[in-house]
Amino acid sequence: MSFNVTPGKVSLNDLSQIYWESKSVTLSPGAKKNVEKTASFVKDTASADTPMYGINTGFGKLSGIRVPAEQTDLIQRNLILSHCCGVGDPLPEKIVFLVMVLKILSLGRGASGVRTKVIEQIESLLEKGVTPIIPSQGSVGASGDLAPLAHLTAVLIGEGQAIYKGQILSGAKVLKRIKRKPLVLKAKEGLAMINGTQVSTALALAGLFDGWRCSLNSLITGALSTDASMGSTDPFHPEIQNLRGHQGQIEVAKTLQILMNDSKIRESHLVEDIRIQDPYCIRCQPQVNGACIDLLRQAAKTLTIEANAVTDNPLIINAMGNKDSQMRIISGGNFHAEPVAFAADQIALALSEIGAISQRRIALLVDPKLNFGLPPFLVSNAGVNSGFMVAEITSAALMSENKHIANPCSTDSTPTSADQEDHVSMATHAARRLLTMNENLSQIIGIELITAAQGIDLRKEI
């Protein structure tokens, strides 16, 4: 079933559905009219005497070279072929799917000067389940995700490779299979395809969506660990949270209270436990996990804006003004992915901290000095059986790895393209590492789940 989208108005919930359900999308008819209007303007500009970057000139440091009108199509094709320089493992299919959707949203705003044929070619790949093979490495998140987006575009023109029905096929073969002709790129279309933050943004959104699920799961395991350790629920009292006022903290405390409502272990704790305060990994869950949730929401706001943004260069402005307004082509820097890099760094910090506090709860439960009466390493015949000793060590290894790779990427810039691109965002690998971090985090939470469940089972024997 196809999902009709209006560029500039796609919500985070829409993007989440597209990601989880792999819904193909089509552009709204009204948006297509704006697209054709600017494409016609670019066509006229390409044959004019005035040099226009990327339309009748070279690219980047070569922008001073004028391209004859009869070669404007050739330079767009050559641009794509020369930029297919990505390396590394292919991006996951769900990520590539989202990249294509985001490209439609960006081009569909009608400020990029491409024909609707370009968008329709992408729509066809989505509809038929064709996944262009996009290497995961090669972008610094500056003048757009140049290399990865070039590999996507290559399939549109019958080059590159794609996965179709489980087979790896050449771009030419896959287009033939789905009964599409290779696209002949016109003025600016190749540049519009590879300029943009769609790969960085898709990776960051995937990291956000997976991370959000992990954050919610960690509340369940946190409640179980609190119960298994006979921890107090007093720190989750709503008035404590309200006196501070952070929304995430308030919601986490409320969720933990609901999850632990009517706990028999908690009732026995009220009678027997002489402890006044629990360790921070139990007591400060609202403060830590709540802050992480607030951070994820902040990143979500940035990424929703970016998903709806026009991020190529140059742009056609006044395309949607009144009928008397004059269109102009202006060079800018919307392709710089700094907002995405910051959002990815924020997500990474949240994922790292969710895992860190989860791991400390695992460590608490296996430690007889801290777990309030549970056997060492949560096994009755300790010594003969090592119990959860190494499960806790594995969680520590995963936690440590996430801490290391959570260091900010947005502060690391290296000049490229003969210093034309002298400050870059590093958004692409800032977002790509989130895939690894979420995998590690899900394993930590899984270990906490079985550890807490074991602790609760052992309470029956004490």
Please list the active-site residues: 53
Omega within 30 of 0 (cis) for the link into 314: yes
Task: Output the CA torsion sign for 114, 82, 60, 98.
Answer: positive
Q: What is the DSSP string of 312-345?
A: -SSEEESTTS-TTPPPEEE---TT--HHHHHHHH
d(CA 177, CA 218): 45
Q: Name the residue type at position 414.
A: T
d(CA 27, CA 4): 6
How many CA atoms lie less than 13 Å away from 81 in the CB half-sphere?
11
d(CA 462, CA 452): 15
CA proximity to 213, closest of 302, 296, 301: 296
d(CA 93, CA 81): 22
Contact (CB, 8 A) for 358 and 217:
no
β-pairing verdict for 161-164 and 131-132: antiparallel
CA proximity to 146, closest of 420, 448, 461, 438: 420
CB atoms within 10 A of CB 213: 15
Q: What is the DSSP string of 245-273?
A: --HHHHHHHHHHHHHTTT-HHHHHHHHH-
Q: Helix (H, G, I), strand (E, B), or coil: what is residue 85?
A: coil
d(CA 455, CA 461): 10
